[in-house]
Every structure is written in structure tokens, then in C-alpha cells.
Structure 1
Amino acid sequence: MQIQSAFGAGLQGLQRASNGISEETLNINRQTTLNRQQQQQQVDAAQDQQAQVDATARPQQAAPATDVTQSLVRLEQQELSAQANVRSLRTADEMLGSIIDIRV
């Protein structure tokens, strides 16, 4: 039984999950900023034209919402991965503690 490999795998998995969480957080932030800029541009264009925009002429924002949704799903996946790796680290720690108690 190799306790060190369990610790190593748990730490590597936790680091990957942490990196993934950071990446998805940045993606969500970028997309939100882009959406706000697009909305401001639309407001500015509407004010410049002094025209009313009917509901059918409004630009669709389904793609940005989908991107944010996908990023949120991936963020949740990374969170679950981090939790699983923390559990594996706890288990490896408990096993090592049990081995030390048995040998003493």
C-alpha cells in the first residue's frame, strides 16, 4: 500500500480543480463584462437613433447566456472534483494515522 501516492494523487487533483475553478471564474467574469458592454452599446445606439426598437428587432443574447451557463456548469464540476480530492486526502491521512497507531 502506497500512502504517498494517495497523497500525491489527491494533491494533484486538488490543484487541477483549483486551476479549473480559477479559469471558469475568469470566463464568467469576461462574459459578464462583454454582455454589459454590448448592452451599453445597444442603449447608446438606441439613444443616437432616437428610434423605438420593437421586440423582434432586439439582438438575441442566447449565445452569451449559454457561454455563461456552460462556464457555471464547469465551475460546479470543478467544485465537486475539489471536494472529492479533499476527501481522498482525508482518507489517506486517516489511513496513515491508523498505520502509525498500530505500529506504536
Structure 2
Amino acid sequence: MQIQSAFSAGMQGLQRASNAISEETLNINRQTTQSRQQDQQVAAAAAQQTANPTPTNAAAEPNRAAGTDTTQSLVRLEQQELLAQANVRSLRTADEMLGNIIDIRV
């Protein structure tokens, strides 16, 4: 295996993990914002229901789905963090190998 290809693979993997981390962070932010908006709508509906008592309970279901999506995004975020750490380790190893080769040849 060529050291240069190890560097390239490590850098590509690190870049992919970094992009995925950014994407998952945006997803979490988007889901949190939607969840807050839904909570505000539920609170407004509850306040309106107190003023006009009519049985409605359909607003609780979207919050559960948003919580599941957020959980999945957090799990994917953790996976990408581990992938980034693994790629950094491979870059470090390739760097050490290159240092050893230079030390041996000099």
C-alpha cells in the first residue's frame, strides 16, 4: 500500500464525515425548530380549547415523530463522529509510517 493513497483515503473519509456531520447538525436544528413550532401550536390550541372546550387531541402525534427523527439524526451524528476519528487515526498512522520510512532511508 502506498502511503500517498493512505493519506488520500484518510482525507477523503474525513471530508465525507465532516460533510455528513454538517448535514446532520442542520437536520437536528431543523427538527428542533419544527418541534418548537409544533409545541407553540399545541399550547395555542390548548389555550383556545380552555376558552372553547371541544375535544381535539391530534396535535400530540407529530411531536412523537419529530422526536424519533431527532433521535435518528443524533445517532447518525455520533456515527459520523466515530468515522471522522477513525480517519484521523489512519492519517496519523500514515504520517508515522512516512516518518519511519524517512528515518530509515536517511
Q: Offset at 1:53?
A: 8.5
Gaps of 5+ in 1: none
Output the CA distance in 2 between the equivalents of 1:5 and 1:102. 20
CA contact (8 A) 1:28 1:72 kept: yes
Evaluate the alpha carbon distance shift between residue 24 and residue 53 of structure 1 in structure 2; reply closer, same or farther with a 3 A threshold.
Answer: farther
- Letter of the aligned partner of 1:80 in structure 2? L
CA 41–97 in structure 1, closer or farther in 2 if over 3 Å, else same: same
* Residue-by-residue CA offset, 1:49-81 (whole Å, 9 max, x unaligned): 325688x93622221111000000000000000
Q: CA deviation at 1:48?
A: 2.5
TM-score (norm 2): 0.89
Pairing 1:23-102 to 2, within 5 Å after superposition? 23-49=23-49, 50=51, 57=57, 59-60=60-61, 61-102=63-104
Post-superposition CA distance 1:9-44 (Å, at most 9, x none): 000000000000000000000000000001101111
Identify the residue that residue 6 of structure 1 maps to in structure 2.
Answer: 6
Query: Runs (4+) of structure 1 moved beyond 2 Å?
Result: 51-54
Query: Number of residue pairs matched?
Result: 103
In structure 2, runs of 5+ residues without a counterpart are: none
TM-score (norm 1): 0.91
Q: Once the two structures are aligned, what percentage of the paired residues are identical?
A: 74
- Are positions 1:17 and 2:17 aligned together? yes
